[in-house]
Amino acid sequence: MSVEIKNLNHTYSEGTPFEFKALKNINVTIEDGSFIGIIGHTGSGKSTLIQHLNGLLSPTSGTVCVDGKDIFETKKSEMILLRHHIGLVFQYPEHQLFEETVYKDVAFGPRNQGLSEQEIDQRVKQSIKMVGLDYEEVKDKSPFELSGGQMRRVAIAGVLAMEPAVLILDEPTAGLDPRGREEILAQIKKLHRKKGITVILVSHSMEDIGKMVDKILVLNAGEVVYFDTPNHVFTKISTLEKIGLAVPEVTYLMRRLKEKYPEIREDVFTVEAAKNEILKVIRG
Protein backbone atom coordinates (compact mmCIF):
# COMPACT_ATOMS: atom_id res chain seq x y z
CA MET A 1 0.00 0.00 0.00
CA SER A 2 1.61 3.27 -1.14
CA VAL A 3 1.09 6.60 0.62
CA GLU A 4 1.42 9.93 -1.21
CA ILE A 5 1.45 13.16 0.79
CA LYS A 6 0.63 16.17 -1.39
CA ASN A 7 1.12 19.83 -0.41
CA LEU A 8 0.13 18.98 3.15
CA ASN A 9 -0.29 21.85 5.61
CA HIS A 10 -1.64 21.76 9.15
CA THR A 11 -2.22 24.77 11.38
CA TYR A 12 -3.34 24.42 14.97
CA SER A 13 -5.76 27.04 16.39
CA GLU A 14 -5.98 28.76 13.01
CA GLY A 15 -7.15 32.36 13.17
CA THR A 16 -6.48 32.72 16.90
CA PRO A 17 -3.60 34.32 18.83
CA PHE A 18 -2.36 30.75 19.45
CA GLU A 19 -2.07 29.86 15.74
CA PHE A 20 0.78 27.46 15.07
CA LYS A 21 1.83 26.06 11.69
CA ALA A 22 2.85 22.49 12.46
CA LEU A 23 3.23 21.24 8.86
CA LYS A 24 4.25 23.32 5.86
CA ASN A 25 3.80 22.06 2.32
CA ILE A 26 4.86 18.44 2.85
CA ASN A 27 5.34 16.44 -0.36
CA VAL A 28 6.49 12.85 0.14
CA THR A 29 5.75 9.52 -1.54
CA ILE A 30 6.13 6.36 0.55
CA GLU A 31 6.36 3.32 -1.68
CA ASP A 32 4.58 0.06 -0.99
CA GLY A 33 6.68 -2.29 1.16
CA SER A 34 9.29 0.31 2.09
CA PHE A 35 10.73 0.95 5.56
CA ILE A 36 10.78 4.68 6.34
CA GLY A 37 12.28 6.49 9.33
CA ILE A 38 11.07 9.91 10.50
CA ILE A 39 13.39 12.05 12.60
CA GLY A 40 13.27 15.60 13.94
CA HIS A 41 13.54 17.40 17.26
CA THR A 42 10.53 17.91 19.53
CA GLY A 43 8.01 20.15 17.79
CA SER A 44 9.27 19.38 14.29
CA GLY A 45 5.91 17.95 13.18
CA LYS A 46 6.54 14.20 13.39
CA SER A 47 3.46 13.26 15.44
CA THR A 48 1.23 15.70 13.57
CA LEU A 49 2.31 14.17 10.25
CA ILE A 50 1.71 10.53 11.17
CA GLN A 51 -1.75 11.33 12.54
CA HIS A 52 -2.71 12.56 9.07
CA LEU A 53 -1.79 9.23 7.51
CA ASN A 54 -4.86 7.43 8.84
CA GLY A 55 -7.15 10.43 9.15
CA LEU A 56 -6.89 11.11 12.90
CA LEU A 57 -6.07 14.71 11.95
CA SER A 58 -7.42 16.56 8.91
CA PRO A 59 -5.18 18.91 6.92
CA THR A 60 -5.62 22.64 6.76
CA SER A 61 -4.82 22.18 3.08
CA GLY A 62 -3.37 19.46 0.88
CA THR A 63 -4.10 15.79 1.15
CA VAL A 64 -2.94 12.21 1.72
CA CYS A 65 -3.59 9.60 -0.96
CA VAL A 66 -3.49 5.90 -0.16
CA ASP A 67 -3.14 3.74 -3.26
CA GLY A 68 -4.14 6.79 -5.29
CA LYS A 69 -7.29 7.59 -3.29
CA ASP A 70 -7.69 10.83 -1.32
CA ILE A 71 -8.48 9.62 2.21
CA PHE A 72 -10.13 12.89 3.18
CA GLU A 73 -12.75 12.49 0.47
CA THR A 74 -13.87 9.10 1.78
CA LYS A 75 -17.06 8.33 3.68
CA LYS A 76 -16.94 7.77 7.43
CA SER A 77 -17.35 4.01 6.97
CA GLU A 78 -14.46 3.97 4.49
CA MET A 79 -12.28 5.95 6.92
CA ILE A 80 -12.89 3.31 9.62
CA LEU A 81 -11.87 0.62 7.13
CA LEU A 82 -8.76 2.63 6.22
CA ARG A 83 -7.69 2.63 9.88
CA HIS A 84 -7.77 -1.15 9.79
CA HIS A 85 -5.27 -1.04 6.91
CA ILE A 86 -3.05 1.67 8.41
CA GLY A 87 -2.12 0.69 11.95
CA LEU A 88 -0.78 3.41 14.24
CA VAL A 89 1.07 2.43 17.42
CA PHE A 90 1.40 5.49 19.65
CA GLN A 91 4.29 6.21 21.99
CA TYR A 92 3.94 4.15 25.20
CA PRO A 93 1.20 1.97 23.63
CA GLU A 94 1.01 -0.14 26.78
CA HIS A 95 -1.03 2.71 28.27
CA GLN A 96 -3.79 1.72 25.82
CA LEU A 97 -4.06 -1.83 27.19
CA PHE A 98 -7.29 -2.34 29.10
CA GLU A 99 -8.64 -5.89 28.83
CA GLU A 100 -8.50 -8.62 31.49
CA THR A 101 -6.21 -10.89 29.48
CA VAL A 102 -3.63 -10.61 26.74
CA TYR A 103 -5.87 -12.67 24.46
CA LYS A 104 -8.85 -10.33 24.87
CA ASP A 105 -6.71 -7.25 24.32
CA VAL A 106 -5.19 -8.53 21.08
CA ALA A 107 -8.62 -9.78 19.93
CA PHE A 108 -10.29 -6.39 20.45
CA GLY A 109 -9.41 -4.95 17.01
CA PRO A 110 -10.25 -8.04 14.91
CA ARG A 111 -13.53 -8.43 16.81
CA ASN A 112 -14.48 -4.86 15.87
CA GLN A 113 -13.75 -5.80 12.27
CA GLY A 114 -16.64 -8.24 12.47
CA LEU A 115 -14.54 -11.36 11.91
CA SER A 116 -15.61 -14.87 12.89
CA GLU A 117 -14.38 -16.29 16.19
CA GLN A 118 -12.26 -18.78 14.27
CA GLU A 119 -10.55 -16.01 12.28
CA ILE A 120 -10.09 -13.90 15.43
CA ASP A 121 -8.49 -16.83 17.24
CA GLN A 122 -6.12 -17.45 14.33
CA ARG A 123 -5.09 -13.80 14.13
CA VAL A 124 -4.53 -13.48 17.88
CA LYS A 125 -2.26 -16.54 17.96
CA GLN A 126 -0.34 -15.41 14.90
CA SER A 127 0.14 -11.82 16.13
CA ILE A 128 1.29 -12.79 19.62
CA LYS A 129 3.84 -15.18 18.14
CA MET A 130 4.88 -12.58 15.58
CA VAL A 131 6.01 -10.15 18.28
CA GLY A 132 8.13 -12.84 19.90
CA LEU A 133 5.92 -13.86 22.82
CA ASP A 134 4.97 -17.41 23.83
CA TYR A 135 1.24 -17.66 23.09
CA GLU A 136 0.42 -20.37 25.63
CA GLU A 137 2.44 -18.62 28.31
CA VAL A 138 0.85 -15.17 28.02
CA LYS A 139 -2.64 -15.56 26.52
CA ASP A 140 -4.50 -15.89 29.83
CA LYS A 141 -2.35 -13.47 31.81
CA SER A 142 -3.35 -9.92 32.60
CA PRO A 143 -1.26 -7.65 30.35
CA PHE A 144 -0.41 -5.67 33.48
CA GLU A 145 1.46 -8.66 34.95
CA LEU A 146 4.01 -8.48 32.14
CA SER A 147 7.25 -6.52 31.87
CA GLY A 148 7.29 -3.14 30.13
CA GLY A 149 8.80 -4.63 26.97
CA GLN A 150 6.27 -7.48 26.93
CA MET A 151 3.37 -5.07 27.42
CA ARG A 152 4.58 -3.05 24.47
CA ARG A 153 4.73 -6.19 22.35
CA VAL A 154 1.15 -7.02 23.30
CA ALA A 155 0.06 -3.53 22.25
CA ILE A 156 1.83 -3.94 18.90
CA ALA A 157 0.29 -7.41 18.49
CA GLY A 158 -3.15 -5.83 18.91
CA VAL A 159 -2.48 -3.60 15.89
CA LEU A 160 -0.93 -6.44 13.86
CA ALA A 161 -3.99 -8.61 14.50
CA MET A 162 -5.95 -6.25 12.25
CA GLU A 163 -3.45 -7.12 9.48
CA PRO A 164 -2.57 -3.56 8.43
CA ALA A 165 -0.82 -2.94 5.12
CA VAL A 166 0.99 0.03 6.70
CA LEU A 167 2.38 -0.03 10.24
CA ILE A 168 3.30 3.30 11.86
CA LEU A 169 5.29 3.20 15.10
CA ASP A 170 5.82 6.34 17.17
CA GLU A 171 8.94 5.88 19.34
CA PRO A 172 8.28 2.15 19.96
CA THR A 173 11.38 1.73 22.17
CA ALA A 174 10.92 4.83 24.35
CA GLY A 175 11.64 4.12 28.01
CA LEU A 176 12.80 0.54 27.49
CA ASP A 177 16.10 -0.88 28.71
CA PRO A 178 18.73 -1.78 26.06
CA ARG A 179 17.65 -5.42 25.89
CA GLY A 180 13.99 -4.48 25.52
CA ARG A 181 14.86 -1.99 22.79
CA GLU A 182 16.85 -4.53 20.81
CA GLU A 183 14.11 -7.15 21.11
CA ILE A 184 11.37 -4.79 19.91
CA LEU A 185 13.45 -3.53 16.98
CA ALA A 186 14.42 -7.08 15.96
CA GLN A 187 10.75 -8.10 15.90
CA ILE A 188 9.79 -5.03 13.83
CA LYS A 189 12.55 -5.76 11.31
CA LYS A 190 11.55 -9.43 11.15
CA LEU A 191 7.91 -8.45 10.65
CA HIS A 192 8.79 -6.12 7.77
CA ARG A 193 10.92 -8.76 6.11
CA LYS A 194 8.38 -11.56 6.57
CA LYS A 195 5.12 -9.73 5.78
CA GLY A 196 6.42 -7.15 3.30
CA ILE A 197 4.27 -4.41 4.78
CA THR A 198 5.12 -0.72 4.70
CA VAL A 199 6.67 0.38 8.00
CA ILE A 200 7.06 3.97 9.20
CA LEU A 201 9.24 4.36 12.28
CA VAL A 202 9.44 7.59 14.28
CA SER A 203 12.49 7.65 16.53
CA HIS A 204 14.95 9.94 18.31
CA SER A 205 17.63 7.27 18.05
CA MET A 206 19.86 7.87 15.07
CA GLU A 207 21.44 4.44 15.61
CA ASP A 208 18.07 2.67 15.42
CA ILE A 209 17.03 4.61 12.33
CA GLY A 210 20.37 4.03 10.61
CA LYS A 211 20.31 0.27 10.92
CA MET A 212 16.59 -0.23 10.24
CA VAL A 213 15.28 1.93 7.41
CA ASP A 214 15.52 2.33 3.63
CA LYS A 215 14.94 6.09 3.65
CA ILE A 216 14.87 8.85 6.26
CA LEU A 217 12.44 11.76 6.36
CA VAL A 218 14.02 14.65 8.27
CA LEU A 219 11.61 17.29 9.56
CA ASN A 220 12.38 20.70 11.01
CA ALA A 221 9.79 23.31 12.02
CA GLY A 222 7.14 21.46 10.01
CA GLU A 223 9.16 21.30 6.79
CA VAL A 224 10.99 18.52 4.97
CA VAL A 225 14.75 18.97 5.17
CA TYR A 226 15.73 15.64 3.59
CA PHE A 227 13.98 12.55 2.31
CA ASP A 228 16.76 10.22 1.25
CA THR A 229 18.78 7.14 2.13
CA PRO A 230 20.69 6.93 5.43
CA ASN A 231 23.95 7.02 3.42
CA HIS A 232 23.04 10.43 2.08
CA VAL A 233 21.32 11.95 5.12
CA PHE A 234 24.01 11.00 7.64
CA THR A 235 26.74 12.70 5.61
CA LYS A 236 24.93 16.05 6.15
CA ILE A 237 26.31 16.42 9.66
CA SER A 238 26.50 20.22 9.78
CA THR A 239 22.91 20.67 8.57
CA LEU A 240 21.58 18.08 11.00
CA GLU A 241 23.42 19.68 13.89
CA LYS A 242 22.04 23.12 12.98
CA ILE A 243 18.49 21.78 13.40
CA GLY A 244 19.25 20.09 16.71
CA LEU A 245 19.92 16.58 15.48
CA ALA A 246 22.99 14.39 15.28
CA VAL A 247 24.22 11.34 13.42
CA PRO A 248 25.00 7.91 14.91
CA GLU A 249 28.04 8.00 17.22
CA VAL A 250 29.88 5.57 14.98
CA THR A 251 29.62 8.06 12.09
CA TYR A 252 31.46 10.68 14.17
CA LEU A 253 34.10 8.05 14.91
CA MET A 254 34.56 7.27 11.22
CA ARG A 255 34.88 10.97 10.48
CA ARG A 256 37.74 11.27 12.99
CA LEU A 257 39.44 8.13 11.65
CA LYS A 258 39.35 9.60 8.15
CA GLU A 259 41.79 12.29 9.34
CA LYS A 260 44.36 9.55 9.86
CA TYR A 261 43.19 7.15 7.15
CA PRO A 262 42.03 9.24 4.16
CA GLU A 263 40.84 6.13 2.31
CA ILE A 264 38.28 5.24 4.98
CA ARG A 265 34.60 5.82 4.20
CA GLU A 266 32.61 8.40 6.17
CA ASP A 267 29.14 7.23 5.11
CA VAL A 268 29.01 4.50 7.75
CA PHE A 269 26.29 4.54 10.39
CA THR A 270 26.15 1.06 11.92
CA VAL A 271 28.68 -0.64 14.19
CA GLU A 272 28.84 -3.70 11.94
CA ALA A 273 29.58 -1.62 8.83
CA ALA A 274 32.20 0.39 10.74
CA LYS A 275 33.93 -2.80 11.89
CA ASN A 276 34.07 -4.13 8.34
CA GLU A 277 35.37 -0.84 6.95
CA ILE A 278 38.09 -0.46 9.60
CA LEU A 279 39.28 -4.04 9.11
CA LYS A 280 39.36 -3.57 5.34
CA VAL A 281 41.49 -0.42 5.63
CA ILE A 282 43.85 -1.84 8.26
CA ARG A 283 44.39 -5.04 6.32
CA GLY A 284 44.96 -2.90 3.26
Average pLDDT over residues 202-218: 93
Instruction: Note whether residue 265 is domain-resident.
Output: yes
Whether residue 279 sits in one domain with residue 222: no
Average pLDDT over residues 224-249: 94
For position 58, what pLDDT does the model report? Answer: 94
Average pLDDT over residues 168-174: 90
- pLDDT tens digits along 15-50: 999 999 999 999 999 999 999 999 999 999 999 999
Q: Name the band, by pLDDT with cuts 50, 70 and 90, for residue 146.
A: very high
Whether residue 145 sits in one domain with residue 262: no
For position 177, what pLDDT does the model report? Answer: 82
pLDDT value at 191 more than 90: no
Which comes out higher in pLDDT, residue 174 or 223? 223
For position 257, what pLDDT does the model report? Answer: 92
What total of structural domains would you count in the chain?
2
Whether residue 181 sits in one domain with residue 112: yes
- pLDDT tens digits along 264-278: 988 888 888 999 999
Whether residue 178 sits in one domain with residue 48: yes
pLDDT value at 76 more than 90: no
Whether residue 99 sits in one domain with residue 39: yes
Please state the pTM of the whole predicted model: 0.89
Whether residue 145 sits in one domain with residue 119: yes
Q: What is the CATH number of the domain that holds 80?
A: 3.40.50.300
Instruction: Note whether residue 242 is domain-resident.
Output: no
Instruction: Note whether residue 243 is domain-resident.
Output: no
3-state secondary structure the chain: CCEEEEEEEEEECCCCCCCEEEEEEEEEEECCCCEEEEECCCCCCHHHHHHHCCCCCCCCEEEEEECCEEHHHCCHHHHHHHHHHEEEECCCHHHHCCCCCHHHHHHHHHHHCCCCHHHHHHHHHHHHHHCCCCHHHHCCCCHHHCCHHHHHHHHHHHHHCCCCCEEEEECCCCCCCHHHHHHHHHHHHHHHHHHCCEEEEECCCHHHHHHHCCEEEEEECCEEEEEECHHHHCCCHHHHHHCCCCCCHHHHHHHHHHHHCCCCCCCCCCHHHHHHHHHHHHHC
For position 134, what pLDDT does the model report? Answer: 95
